Structure 1
Amino acid sequence: MESNEKSAETTTTEPEAFVRPDGWMYRSIKIGRWDLGWYASPHIQLGMIAFVCFMCPGMFNALQGLGGAGNTDTQVADQMNMALYSTFAVVGFLAGGVVNRIGIRIALAFGGIGYTIYSISLLVSVHKSVGGFNIFAGALLGVCAGLLWAAQGTIMMSYPPEARKGRYFTWFWSIFNVGACVGALIPLGTNIHVKVAKTVTDGTYIAFIVLMAFGAVLALFICDADKIIRKDGTKVILMKNPSWKSEVIGMWQTVRSEPCVLLLFPMFWSSNWFYTYQQNGLNAAIFNTRTKALNDFLYWFAQIVAALFLGPLLDLKYFRRSVRAKGALAFLLSLTMVIWGGGYAWQKWYTRESTAPYDPVKNPDGFHAWDWSHKGYLGPMFLYFFYGMYDACWQGVVYWMMGSLGNSGRKLANLAGFYKGLQSAGSAVVWNMDRVKTPYMDELASNWGLLAGSILIAAPVFLFKIKDHISIEEDLADVNETAEDVLPPHLLERKRMGETI
């Protein structure tokens, strides 16, 4: 799958100068005086995948944000997540080629199934020891999520015009995290009077299961990339008659054509490393059930706040894209030092041993989990909120960076696969660190060091490799398509006259 874009200025101001194909997918959707565009348009399809992610990974994030996936014993979640991210790492790395081969719609629908089964296994584990089922559910979700996120990355990075890639991230990330916020309100509502640390109710898990299943069904109604037409008439470039062999070759071509992407691999690796520490080493370690749910809500709400200002800044037309890349580098490095410095100041206060949970029989001298009414609550609450903002800023800058390396859907699908594969490999390692009870301070140090170090390693890409515009010739370089396949007549004529498209 590949996408081609015009120059930023032309794409956003060009009047509609083409005739849309016949069919319901291309008829205008109007609500009163508002013309929302047509069904097979990039922004409608981005909205749909955002709602799929609202229901599936959004609810999953809310569940994970409780620490231990809602269970006071984090061992079950640690083992499931090790299985999850181990398979995710393998499948995710190859998922770009798979999505190019089977299409976005099938990849998304299959991807949504794993989230439902994962939550079902958690519900069963509350009542009966089903270790085998838990591990299977985690491993299956790794396969499913690998395909879902590769398809999502393809849409978010290759469908929009160059001038709006940051805004597309904002739209997607905001809707997606509204799902996590709603998901966090479910355990908050069902446990509002629970002031001791305990496993969430069955009703909480059932609500997650229903919503995730709905998301898997919704994915079936998303268009494949060959149906998409942008406002200027351009189409998403697809590899004609892709084979498994051509897609394996395509992954190699992605690295060969942009070897600088290897410098981004440490950023990919560390991009989910912090979840384990934040969710288990802070939220689950310190707070009771209802307070964990409140923190969870604030974490995902903070992501919406951050995405709303980050996307427009990344697209700021007053500065060339190469200049914005340098600004993004400085911003992300500064944010890393400030927020994780605050995390270090807080972490000095406690250890894994000092927060071992109170148990009247097994540990009568144990730690009594904090409630939101606790006098010292506001400090870690704001820290957790800023951790959420940091997550959105990190993911947004990385997605924007990958999207700035090209507009080709095939290339960007492979980059999304590399991103999710390495991200998941890192997650598998850090969940195992938590399983073996690595000291919290060591977990924090690994986060701070990896994040800051990976930014410095990626700095040459930010500083030297981001172009202000990618031409259609560059995007078509590794596919058997021509400009005639993807450009409408009025843009083809302009191209023949020597304009850069």
Structure 2
Amino acid sequence: MVSSGLPDEFPSGLPHRDMSEVEPPKDQQHPVKWYRSSMFNITIVGLCSFSCPGIWSAMNSLGAGGAASPNLINAANAITFCLMVLSSYLSSALMYFVGVKGALIFGCIGFAPFAAGLYTNNRYGNEWLVLLGAALCGISAGVFWAAEASIAIAYPEPWNRGKALGYWLSFKLFGQMLGGAINLGLNANNDKAGQVSYTVFLVFIAIQAAGPFIGFFLNSPDKVERKDGKKVDLTITQNPWLEIKATTKLFFTKKFLLLLLWIGNAVFSESVFFTYLAMWFSVRSRALGSLMSGIVPVIGGNILGWWLDRNSISLKIRSRVAFWTLVVIQGAWWTWATVLVTRFKETKPTFDWTTPGFGAAFGVFVFLAMGFQLNYLFLYFIVHNIAETDEEIIRYAALIRGTESAWEALSYGLESLTLFTEAGGVYMSFAIWAVAIYPAWHLLRHFGVHRPLVGDESYPASIERVDEKGVISSGTSSGDEGGNEKTVKV
């Protein structure tokens, strides 16, 4: 017998994994119609992500939504993310009534009005439609995210789930890259500061308006055919009130509370580096930025994903190398950005790609955009390793998205203030990065290590464990009622 310390609040190594994640031989798989298959449905969800949040990101990556001044657009984005906190939290109740397909279609509807608001503001100076469009986008976007996440996790066969998630997440960045290419093509000759050509938004409105119609091609869960012969079971739709209660309870566990500042570190920066782009760069440089902020994060994210999937290396090493690499490079980028904006407050430059010093000023924007994607991917890795079941993965993902929305609402709200527009956002992002390190490390240091983490007792006495190399072993935990050190007999 071997005894080792077992955390109350966090299990050693990976949580239990269903052994059906191993793909069976082809002759043991069930035949499926291509238009009912899991990957067909993930493609539909991906195309919706491409046309809606992907194009939204492309507009945002213009810097302040392509406007000459960032204040109004930052205020509008603050409204969007405030409402997304609520819509994300209540999305499971909506799915109970309209189903996951109906939720996906509903979630697509609110994006085009926001693009229309940016168009009218850019061309006619209209402001009210920007704010109304932002509100409609916030109400629908939280529902869209919950629906697409549920589909991406529940529809694929267990052995296809990782590939499906990666495939799905790529579409959003593809939308951003397409939007960036359109931006650059239409604004390549504009080397002055100011607003982006309104023609850009006509293209964006058309693409986003197609999103709800694409959603109609999605199969409802009962019609999906999987190669393992199992029906899709979206338990999130079975009892909305119990699901909301379970999600709320999960928010107050130590595991999630330790992540709050790191989530802020991951997403608070988005409004900051896009405002930075709008403040200090010419129109065509901003268009280039919208393209590069899609390409570079795809490259960086795939490198990080490759490292995190290296199962031949222990979980302990993979998680620690990734975490401390992110900590160090982000510290370097924020130091770089702090020096630049402090200087820009005095010199008031407008950088074009022909301007001396453009590379140093533009480079930090590209790296900060990549850092956003790296942190986002790393948060999914964390969820994968702290959740015990697929249902908890969905709940944690919903909590992360809602918390992200709250942080981004704060970020965009502050960036709408003149005090924060030039430099304050960079200074605050630097501070959040610094204070987020220890709580996140307190959680991450238990990945792949048999040590106790004192907290509430959220794990059953009879458990299964997966060691660092992925081997499942059974064990029974015992300990006092105070949540002190427990042992696992293997």
Q: Scaled by the length of structure 2, what TM-score is found? A: 0.80
Higher mean alpha-carbon deviation, 67-76 vs 55-64, is at 67-76
| CA deviation vs aligned residue, 1:1-47 (integer Å, no higher than 9, x gap) | xxx9523xx624432465637xxxx22x4xxxxxxxx7432x44333
Q: Are positions 1:177 and 2:173 aligned together?
A: yes
Map of 2:456 onto structure 1: none
Q: Secondary structure at the match of 2:192?
A: coil
Counterpart residue identity of residue 113, structure 1: I
- Is the contact between residue 167 and residue 315 of structure 1 (CA under 8 Å) also seen in structure 2? no
Q: In the aligned structure 2, how far is the partner of 1:467 from the partner of 1:154?
A: 30
Match 2:424 to one of 442, 445, 456: 442
Q: Are positions 1:370 and 2:371 aligned together?
A: no
- Is the contact between residue 154 and residue 409 of structure 1 (CA under 8 Å) also seen in structure 2? no
Paired residues for 1:284-299 under 5 Å: 284-299=278-293
Match 1:404 to one of 381, 385, 396: 385
- Is the contact between residue 190 and residue 284 of structure 2 (CA under 8 Å) also seen in structure 1? yes
Map of 2:70 onto structure 1: 74
Q: In the aligned structure 2, how far is the partner of 1:54 from the partner of 1:325?
A: 30
Q: How many residues align?
A: 437
Match 2:24 to one of 8, 11, 14: 14
- Is the contact between residue 15 and residue 232 of structure 1 (CA under 8 Å) also seen in structure 2? no
Paired residues for 1:83-482 under 5 Å: 83-96=79-92, 98-99=94-95, 102-157=98-153, 167-228=163-224, 231-233=227-229, 236-239=232-235, 242-255=238-251, 259-280=254-275, 282-351=276-345, 354-355=347-348, 367=349, 369-406=350-387, 408-439=389-420, 440-464=422-446
Q: 1:424 to 1:180 in 2, by over 3 A?
A: same
Q: In the aligned structure 1, how far is the partner of 2:153 from the partner of 2:449?
A: 16
Q: In the aligned structure 2, how far is the partner of 1:101 from the partner of 1:262?
A: 31
Shift of residue 466 of structure 1? 6.6
Q: Secondary structure at the match of 1:345?
A: helix
Q: In the aligned structure 1, how far is the partner of 2:225 from the partner of 2:22?
A: 14
Q: In the aligned structure 1, how far is the partner of 2:306 from the partner of 2:435?
A: 27
| CA deviation vs aligned residue, 1:138-172 (integer Å, no higher than 9, x gap) | 11111111111122333445556778766555433
Q: 1:141 to 1:215 in 2, by over 3 A?
A: same
Q: In the aligned structure 1, how far is the partner of 2:337 from the partner of 2:208?
A: 33
Counterpart residue identity of residue 387, structure 1: L
Shift of residue 195 of structure 1? 1.7
Shift of residue 209 of structure 1? 0.2
Q: In the aligned structure 1, how far is the partner of 2:105 from the partner of 2:403?
A: 23
Map of 2:488 onto structure 1: none
Q: Are positions 1:40 and 2:22 aligned together?
A: no
Q: In the aligned structure 2, how far is the partner of 1:392 from the partner of 1:15?
A: 35
Q: 1:275 to 1:240 in 2, by over 3 A?
A: closer
| CA deviation vs aligned residue, 1:236-290 (integer Å, no higher than 9, x gap) | 443287233222223235447x54122122223343211111011x211111111
Q: RMSD in angstroms over aligned alpha carbons? A: 3.0
Q: 1:422 to 1:466 in 2, by over 3 A?
A: farther
Higher mean alpha-carbon deviation, 163-172 vs 87-96, is at 163-172
Q: In the aligned structure 2, how far is the partner of 1:406 from the partner of 1:158?
A: 15
Counterpart residue identity of residue 147, structure 2: A
Q: 1:157 to 1:444 in 2, by over 3 A?
A: farther
- Is the contact between residue 251 and residue 399 of structure 2 (CA under 8 Å) also seen in structure 1? no
Q: In the aligned structure 2, how far is the partner of 1:335 from the partner of 1:156?
A: 31
Q: In the aligned structure 2, how far is the partner of 1:286 from the partner of 1:297?
A: 17
- Is the contact between residue 67 and residue 195 of structure 2 (CA under 8 Å) also seen in structure 1? yes
Q: In the aligned structure 1, how far is the partner of 2:232 from the partner of 2:155?
A: 7
Q: In the aligned structure 1, how far is the partner of 2:338 from the partner of 2:106?
A: 40
Q: In the aligned structure 2, how far is the partner of 1:133 from the partner of 1:48?
A: 29
Q: In the aligned structure 2, how far is the partner of 1:452 from the partner of 1:167?
A: 33
Q: 1:420 to 1:269 in 2, by over 3 A?
A: same
Q: 1:399 to 1:229 in 2, by over 3 A?
A: farther
Q: In the aligned structure 2, how far is the partner of 1:140 from the partner of 1:176?
A: 20
Shift of residue 225 of structure 1? 4.2
Q: In the aligned structure 1, how far is the partner of 2:260 from the partner of 2:161?
A: 21
- Is the contact between residue 80 and residue 134 of structure 2 (CA under 8 Å) also seen in structure 1? yes
Shift of residue 81 of structure 1? 1.1
- Is the contact between residue 268 and residue 420 of structure 1 (CA under 8 Å) also seen in structure 2? no
Counterpart residue identity of residue 260, structure 1: K
What are the ranges of 5 or more consecutive residues in structure 2 without an aligned counterpart?
A: 1-15, 451-459, 461-490
Shift of residue 230 of structure 1? 5.0
Q: In the aligned structure 2, how far is the partner of 1:161 from the partner of 1:312?
A: 21
Higher mean alpha-carbon deviation, 308-317 vs 137-146, is at 308-317
Shift of residue 407 of structure 1? 6.7
Q: 1:380 to 1:411 in 2, by over 3 A?
A: same
Q: Secondary structure at the match of 2:360?
A: helix
Shift of residue 99 of structure 1? 4.1
Q: Secondary structure at the match of 1:271?
A: helix
Q: 1:231 to 1:382 in 2, by over 3 A?
A: farther
Counterpart residue identity of residue 341, structure 2: Q
Counterpart residue identity of residue 442, structure 1: G
Q: In the aligned structure 2, how far is the partner of 1:319 from the partner of 1:225?
A: 36
